[in-house]
Structure 1
Amino acid sequence: MDIIGTVLWPLKWVVELILVAFHWVFTNVISMDPASGLNWVLSIVGLTVVVRAALIPIFVRQIKNQRRMLEVAPQLKKIQAKYKGKKDQFSREAMSRETMALYKETGTNPLSSCLPLLIQMPIFFSLFSVLNDAQHGKGGVGPLSAHLGNLFAHAKLFGSPLHESFSNAMNAHPQQVGVMIIAACMVVLMTSSQFITQLQIVSKNMSAETKASPQFKQQRILLYLLPFVFLFSGFTFPLGVMFYWLTSNIWTMAQQFVVIRNMPTPGSEAAKAREARLARKGKLTTSPEGDVIVVEEPKSTQRVQPMSKARAKKQTGGNK
């Protein structure tokens, strides 16, 4: 086993466990055909939901860190202005020390925004490896037996094998048109969901100050560049892996919508829209300093427990 296989071994074991568990549920509880492609597709969707649900705490942590990064942005600019134009080694080290001290003091981490993606990539490669072995009828490193691998190897959705990709189907003789149609539709949906997710962030969840920065121009370029990357790479992935990718993209798009609606970036269009909604409901006021204050719903007081007449008379007599 190579070093990559050794690193991915525990992840592959967990991926197989979740995949086989969903396959067992759909087979024995819902009475679906264990060899059907729909059974395996739903199992992959279930696996995706479990993985993304497990990442919710990390995603919430990412959002909180992004908020703190916005709060410390003015202090970072002061540090950068302090050492602007100074390119000597001493100045660079001093700037780095002050920046790291600020991150430590405020509890921020500029790399935390990459955590969900960094964690998902090994899981994605593990799933790719598991399905790649299964398409040849091989057993996995854990609960995915050779029998289940053989079932997946022959599983079809609308007559198209789940282990096939667009590129393989196009080069086959004769060409597998069904696989090519499903794969093309999947690629379009994957690319569209990725574009919409990024568009939500760029158009609604960025402040005017951020949009005026050079970094915003780079992000605008990535907005149109990344979908093309997924467009071309998607044609090489098997249908089973593409279902995982599409489900994950849809989850991200919905999750981003909820976050932008309820926890928007201060100063962004989404924040103004949220303030307008709260104002219409009477839950928003403005302090004399101009700060926006969200009025919390009053908490209900504890219900008074019923009391018998004898007990009430006793307590009244005791208070005299």
Structure 2
Amino acid sequence: MDWMDGLLFPIMAVVAWIMVQFHDLLSAAGLDPAGGAAWALSIVGLVIVIRILLIPLFFKQIKASRGMQLIQPEMQALQKKYKGRTDPASREAQSREMMELYRKHGTNPFASCLPLLLQSPIFFALFRVLYELPRLAEGTYPRADAIGPMTQELAAQAEQATIFGAPLAGTFMQANGVWQIQLVTVVLIIAMSATTFLTQRQLTMKNMPPAALEGPMAQQQKVLLYVLPLIFAFSGVNFPIGVLIYWTTTNLWSMGQQFYTIRRMPAPGSAAEAALKARKARKAASRGETPETVEGTTTAVIEERPRSGQRQQPKRKDRAKGRPQTGAGQASGTETNGSDDAGPTAGDDGTTPTGGR
């Protein structure tokens, strides 16, 4: 695997540098430099640094994954439109309309895989750093005397560091009957597989509308939801304990990051959006407000209530009689009085009415 070290050596040096910096910081804080806790937490620190750098890509991944799910109805209609048409012109037209659909909704099927692809070199670089610790500690590593700041002395220290009796570079397949290594690796493999499943389930099930959970792509997502944890479980027996710590910590970070994002910015029509509206309604009710839904959004209308201890002033009612008339009313009254003084008026037949006998 020396050819892989040749490709990954610059990344291995960066990974080793971050680990050594955190190790020095934790040692200065009082942890045993040769202890497993300092080196294990150095790997956790590596995860934190990498994931902070990937935060912008994470939001792009969430947006792309959400967009791919939301356009499934239109995608199915497009596939139905060109079903059975295998001529080159139809295929070209279908591809063109599909790309236009992606552009219209601002999504891309490859954008959701970008953070995972960028983490893969770091994952393999950490794998190689931990794998080469014994040879680096013995001074037989063929490429260099050190991997970045990871010198022979530090490599020997990291190789001998243990967690519950299991070295960080130990694997299940090379445990040689050491039950501590087997136990720690099994626990970490279960944790890695479980967090992988929960992370994917949180993203696909809770933050998608029901319509987006149907169709071929949704079925593929459901299959991957159960297949990926199994793949990691079977392949995890070959991973060093340090790599299992890295992957489990990465999954935990992803779960927390997704939980915050889904809670604050849920997909339209999803269960998470319904939960967000319910929380807003409860908060509005606790503040004495009345939640009202207007055009699909929850707003709060504040009811005006009298303050406690404030005396209510009676409203003034205008009297029907004796109310002074102004303006047009006075003019109308004057004209009426004037017409009464003018004497009797002629009837409809032109005769003058006479008093009753």
TM range (shorter): 0.7 to 0.9
Return the alpha-carbon distance in structure 1 between the equivalents of residues 69 and 193 of structure 2: 29
**Are positions 1:219 and 2:221 aligned together?**
yes
1:58 Cα deviation from its structure 2 partner: 0.5
What displacement does 1:78 show? 5.2
Q: 1:79 to 1:229 in 2, by over 3 A?
A: closer
- Residue 16 (structure 2) aligns with: 16
Distance in 2, matches of 1:221 and 1:75, equals 22
Stretch deviating more after TM superposition (57-66 or 242-251): 57-66
Decide whether aligned partners of structure 1 residues 105 and 256 sit closer, same or farther in structure 2, where only a CA change above 3 A counts. closer
Aligned to 2:85: 86
**Which secondary structure does the structure 2 equivalent of 1:167 belong to?**
coil
Shift of 1:105: 5.2
Secondary structure of residue in 2 paired with 1:33: coil
For residues 125 and 65 of structure 1, the distance between their equivalents in structure 2, rounded to whole angstroms, comes to 26
Distance 2:282 2:299 in 1: 12
Which residue does 2:123 correspond to in 1? 124
**Contact persistence 1:187–1:231 (CA under 8 A):** yes
CA contact (8 A) 2:20 2:150 kept: yes
- Which secondary structure state, in structure 2, belongs to the residue aligned with residue 286 of structure 1? strand
Displacement of 1:72 after TM fit?
5.2
> Is residue 12–residue 130 contact of structure 1 (8 Å, CA) maintained in 2?
yes
Corresponding residue of 1:156: 162
Q: Report the alpha carbon displacement of residue 101 of structure 1 after superposing the two structures with TM.
A: 3.6
Partner of 2:43: 44
- Residues 104-151 of structure 1, C-alpha deviations (whole Å, 9 max, x = no match): 455432210001111111110010011111233155431211211111
Once the two structures are TM-superposed, the CA of residue 293 in structure 1 deviates from its matched residue by: 5.2
CA distance in 1 between counterparts of 2:180 and 2:108 reads 47
State the 1:55 CA deviation.
Answer: 0.8
Report the counterpart of residue 178 of structure 2 in structure 1: 176
Residue identity opposite 2:297 in structure 1 = V
What is the distance in 1 between the residues matched to 2:200 and 2:36?
Answer: 31
Measure the CA separation in 2 of the matches of 1:51 and 1:257: 19
Distance 1:163 1:12 in 2: 15
- Mark the structure with the bigger radius of gyration: 2
C-alpha contact (below 8 Å) 1:134/1:140 kept by paired residues: no
CA deviation profile, 1:161-189 (whole Å, cap 9, x unmatched): 221111111xx2xx211111111111121
The aligned amino acid for 1:272 is: A
Q: Residues 285 and 17 from structure 1, CA distance in 2 versus in 1: closer, same or farther, beyond 3 angstroms? A: farther
Q: Which residue is equivalent to 1:286?
A: 293
Question: Larger deviation: 4-13 or 176-185?
Answer: 4-13
TM-score between the two structures when normalised by the length of structure 1: 0.81
Equivalent position of 2:311 in the other structure: none
Q: Secondary structure at the match of 2:188?
A: helix
In structure 2, the residue matched to 1:234 is 236
For residue 99 of structure 1, what is the aligned residue in structure 2?
98
User: Which blocks of at least 5 consecutive residues in structure 2 are unaligned?
Assistant: 301-357
CA positional deviation for 1:237 = 1.1
Q: Which runs of 4+ in 1 moved over 6 A?
A: none
Tell me which moved more, 230-239 or 198-207.
198-207
2:265 corresponds to 1:263? yes
Alignment partner, residue 345 of structure 2: none
**Distance in 1 separating the partners of 2:94 and 2:238:** 45
Shift of the 182–78 alpha-carbon distance from structure 1 to 2, 3 Å rule, reads: closer
The amino acid across from 2:10 in the alignment is: P
Q: How far apart are 1:60 and its partner, in Å?
A: 1.1
Tell me if structure 2 keeps the 8 A contact 1:16–1:140. Answer: no
Larger helix percent: 1
CA distance in 1, matches of 2:69, 2:236: 35
How far did 1:89 drift?
Answer: 0.4
Name 2:133's counterpart in structure 1.
134
Question: Relative to structure 1, is the Cα distance of residues 182 and 72 closer, same or farther in structure 2, using a 3 angstrom cutoff?
Answer: closer
CA distance in 2, matches of 1:79, 1:156: 56
After TM superposition, give the deviation of residue 48 of structure 1 in Å.
1.0
1:143 aligns with 2:149: yes
Aligned match of 1:60: 59
CA, structure 1 residues 73+230, in 2 after alignment: closer, same or farther (shift >3 Å)?
A: closer
Question: Matched residues in 1 for 2:39 and 2:15: separation?
Answer: 13
Question: What displacement does 1:251 show?
Answer: 1.0
> Per-residue deviation at 1:23?
0.9
Q: Distance in 2 between matches of 1:206 and 1:235?
A: 34
After superposition, the C-alpha distances for 1:68-93 in whole angstroms (9 at most, x for unaligned) are 44665565455444433321001111
How far does residue 5 in structure 1 lie from its aligned partner after superposition?
3.5
C-alpha change, 1:2 and 1:217, in structure 2 (3 Å) is same
Q: Alpha-carbon deviations, 1:250-288, whole Å to 9, x = none?
A: 11122222222222222121111111112222396533x
Could you tell me whether the CA contact under 8 Å between 1:36 and 1:155 is conserved in 2? Answer: yes
Gaps of 5+ in 1: 296-320
